[in-house]
A and B are shown apart, each in its own frame.
Chain A
Amino acid sequence: MGGRTLRALAPLAAVAVVALLPLVVTDRFLLKVFTFAGINALVVVGLALLFGHAGQVSLGHAAFVGLGAYASAYCTVRLGWPWPVGFAVAGALAALGGLVLAMPSLRLKGHYLAMATLGFGELMALTFQEAEPVTGGVDGFGGIPFPSLGPLEVGDAAALYWLVWAVVGVAVLAAYNVTSLRPGRAMRALHGSVPGAQASGVDVVGVKVRTFVVSALLAGLAGALYAGVVGFISPSVFTLTASVTFLAMAVLGGTGSLAGPLLAAVLLTLVQYIDALIPGLPQEASQTIQSYREDIYGLAIVLVVIFAPRGIAGLWSRRGGRGEAA
């Protein structure tokens, strides 16, 4: 019956739900939680592209988030530049970092990029801590203003929510196009077999490098948003633990779809704020969940990799009777 229409309308409905949420939820705390979920989702969309479509994992994406956060903070606070310029610099700097890292390591075989990103992430974490004149060192970088677009300051909780999710929306749209069109096919071919992709005339290294740069760019933008939303950043945020969390979200989200990673990012973010979602939850219970939060992330990675390598996206596309035929 109307299944086809329903499917056609589904993305529109999803957009409507996300867009209208602040009209229904007026609690600033809940909006903040959903804003954080959006920031994580932005990073995870990039990681999902990298993992699902180029067959690579990164253990250093927190560093790109940090790079973007510090870049935008420095541009807006120290240099007094308008926020959109700082936002653009954040993305550009992270993308540049991604390029510098990806060029040499992607010429090597699979696992070297993972190790290079790990080393890069730890090195950046040290840099954030030691480059005190720029980053404020371990004491952190405070007093970061809200994002502003021209004369319009985005300071209200709902406005911040809309800004973050608008960026996520644009990123998803861009990623959707990347995956539906030619380069996307090339990227998926990589996941299948590199020689096969090469045989069909795909510039393997080029596609991988481009994907990595895009994912670093998205992480940098997420960092700029984080800095604007929270107003304070410090090296303890951009660590290996954060990188592993992002990876868990991307892995749980799975390959072959962008809705999966988005959903996983939102779900795993909410784990941390479970007390916000379930009113009246005893503090002991939410504290227990909090103590086992990283266990949940670790377990998610292990179980998904073993039993459902295509993540939650794979679960529903299988139920729908279609495999990854395309």
Chain B
Amino acid sequence: MDELLQFLIAGLKNGSIYALVALGFTIVFAATGAINFAQGEFFMLGGMLGVFFAGLGLPLPMAAVAAIAATAAIGAVFELLAVRPIKGGDPLRIIMVTIGGSVLLRQMALHLFGPDELPLDPFTEGPSLKLLGAAVERQTLWIWALTGLAVVALALLYRRTTFGRAMRATSIQRDAARLVGVNARAMVTASFALAAALGAVAGLAVAPLTQASFHVGAGMGVKGFAAAILGGLGSPVAAVGGGLLLGLLESLTAGYIDPLYKDAVALVVLLVVLFVRPQGLFGGSGRVKM
């Protein structure tokens, strides 16, 4: 029984990370109608920049904030330089540009920080906690807390602020939003910054467990996208659900079938959902909803 509990804890831990990355996909998709292939690289940058700022001597909380802010800024600059110049916002060309951009971001990290894995201290030191016979790492609690915080903050941003309402309006109807005075272009830039920040939070939270490395972006991008597709690309809530579900599926597969199939789970889920129910499990009509 404690075995099952341990698998569930591991699944929800990884699932939370997938959820944050998946959220990034849905935010950019809502604003542009395109998939941002560089989303995984924002995850990678969060960890790498966290290590970098901590290495400069900043205390961990400051280093974390700096890493998230820097990644968000990189996301915004990325949008301004690469995505905005595309006339008409053709989603196919946006996808292509983010493919090229993801390669550049990864290579930039490689040239700046080197090929080795870089360690980051846990947010709180100490032995793991016991929960009904299962062990919970302290860092796992941090991952859950930060994921919860990010989701709540995002919900408040969307529902309570003018900025959030403008983002939602843009995602529903770009032209109509512009008519009522929303700067749609700024909204696209903001969506990239926001998506980058969410990716960075995930990358930072997981770095003390796995170490940061320049090459982890693409793999996490696929997992995050599978989670987003599983839940439904149109809705942030569905993306979080998809992330947690994917994490649990992986963990139970590793625990009860064979760990070798763990990575295949996300890929099979991705293909099957694309083919059978492209609007996702929790998506209704496939329309964009917030």
**In the complex, B169 has a CB within 8 A of chain A:** no
Could you mark each residue 104-148 of chain A with 1 if its beta carbon is under 8 Å from any beta carbon of chain B, else 0? 110010111011101110110010001000000000000000000
Known interface pairs A104-B274, A115-B270, A248-B100. Does A57 touch B264 (Cβ–Cβ under 8 Å)?
no
A118 and B98 alpha carbons, distance in the complex (Å): 14
A33 and B146 alpha carbons, distance in the complex (Å): 51
Q: Which residue of the partner chain B has the closest CB to A126?
A: B264
User: Could you say which of A105, A108, A120, A244 contacts B103, with CB atoms under 8 Å apart?
Assistant: A244
Decide: A301 and B274 in contact? CB cutoff 8 A.
no
**B residues in contact with A204, CB < 8 Å:** none
User: Could you say which of B91, B264, B268, B270 contacts A111, with CB atoms under 8 Å apart?
Assistant: B91
A47 and B15 alpha carbons, distance in the complex (Å): 35
Decide: A298 and B96 in contact? CB cutoff 8 A.
no
Decide: B274 and A300 in contact? CB cutoff 8 A.
no
**In the complex, A49 has a CB within 8 A of chain B:** no
A85 and B249 alpha carbons, distance in the complex (Å): 42
Known interface pairs A105-B275, A111-B34. Does A298 touch B82 (Cβ–Cβ under 8 Å)?
no
Instruction: List A55-74 residues whose CB lies under 8 Å from chain B.
Output: 55, 57, 59
**B residues in contact with A59, CB < 8 Å:** 99
For the complex, would chain B's binding face be called helix, strand, loop or mixed by DSSP majority?
helix
**In the complex, A18 has a CB within 8 A of chain B:** no
Decide: A251 and B96 in contact? CB cutoff 8 A.
yes
Decide: B107 and A294 in contact? CB cutoff 8 A.
yes
A110 and B229 alpha carbons, distance in the complex (Å): 15
Q: Which residue of the partner chain B has the closest CB to A295?
A: B107
**B residues in contact with A291, CB < 8 Å:** 111
**In the complex, what's the smallest C-beta–C-beta distance from A60 to chain B, in angstroms?**
11
**In the complex, A247 has a CB within 8 A of chain B:** yes
Could you mark each residue 268-304 of chain A with 1 if its beta carbon is under 8 Å from any beta carbon of chain B, else 0? 0000000000000000000000011011011111100
Decide: A120 and B97 in contact? CB cutoff 8 A.
no
**A residues in contact with B107, CB < 8 Å:** 292, 294-295, 298
User: Total interface residues on A, using CB and 8 Å?
Assistant: 38
Decide: B226 and A119 in contact? CB cutoff 8 A.
yes
**In the complex, A305 has a CB within 8 A of chain B:** yes
**In the complex, B112 has a CB within 8 A of chain A:** no
**In the complex, A306 has a CB within 8 A of chain B:** yes
A84 and B86 alpha carbons, distance in the complex (Å): 46
User: Could you say which of B35, B106, B260 contacts A115, with CB atoms under 8 Å apart?
Assistant: B35
User: Could you say which of A57, A123, A126, A248 contacts B271, with CB atoms under 8 Å apart?
Assistant: A123
Decide: A120 and B99 in contact? CB cutoff 8 A.
no
Known interface pairs A110-B91, A115-B229. Does A302 touch B101 (Cβ–Cβ under 8 Å)?
yes
**B residues in contact with A114, CB < 8 Å:** 35, 95
Instruction: List B207-257 residues whose CB lies under 8 Å from chain A.
Output: 218, 222, 225-226, 229
**A residues in contact with B100, CB < 8 Å:** 248, 251, 297-302, 305
**A residues in contact with B93, CB < 8 Å:** 305, 309
**B residues in contact with A299, CB < 8 Å:** 100, 104
Known interface pairs A55-B92, A240-B218. Does A116 touch B271 (Cβ–Cβ under 8 Å)?
yes
**In the complex, what's the smallest C-beta–C-beta distance from B136 to chain A, in angstroms?**
30
User: Could you say which of A110, A118, A294, A306 contacts B97, with CB atoms under 8 Å apart?
Assistant: A306
A297 and B106 alpha carbons, distance in the complex (Å): 12
Interface centre among B106, B263, B270 (most CB of A within 10 A): B270
**In the complex, B85 has a CB within 8 A of chain A:** yes
Decide: B103 and A294 in contact? CB cutoff 8 A.
yes
**B residues in contact with A294, CB < 8 Å:** 103, 106-107
Q: Which residue of the partner chain B has the closest CB to A299?
A: B104
Decide: A305 and B86 in contact? CB cutoff 8 A.
yes
**B residues in contact with A248, CB < 8 Å:** 100
A104 and B274 alpha carbons, distance in the complex (Å): 8
13 pairs of residues in contact across A and B, judged by CB atoms under 8 Å? A57-B99, A104-B274, A111-B35, A115-B274, A116-B274, A122-B263, A126-B263, A295-B104, A298-B104, A299-B100, A305-B96, A307-B85, A309-B93
For the complex of A and B, the 3 pairs showing the least CB-CB separation, nearest first, are A301-B100, A298-B103, A302-B100
- Apart from the given pairs A120-B271, A130-B260, A301-B96, 11 other A-B contacts in the complex at a CB distance below 8 Å: A59-B99, A111-B91, A111-B92, A115-B35, A119-B267, A119-B270, A251-B100, A295-B103, A295-B107, A298-B101, A302-B104
